[in-house]
Amino acid sequence: MNFKDKVVIVTGAAVGIGRATAIAFAEKNAKVIVADIRP
């Protein structure tokens, strides 16, 4: 599936599943917005 021209928001993106999810969406050409309480 291609996410070109789609925006995805991932919370909890600093580590673990959130980080892996953000990377996976980016690899599929999505524009990824990430957020987490940890830097």
Q: Residue 39: pLDDT above 80?
A: no
Instruction: Record the pTM.
Output: 0.86
**Residues with Cβ within 8 Å of residue 35, at least 6 apart in sequence:** 9, 10, 11, 12, 13
**Residues with Cβ within 8 Å of residue 9, at least 6 apart in sequence:** 32, 33, 34, 35
Q: Structural domain of residue 35, as residue ranges?
A: 1-39
Residue 1: per-residue pLDDT: 86
Q: What are the pLDDT digits (tens) for 2-15? A: 999 999 999 999 99
How many independent structural domains does the chain possess?
Answer: 1
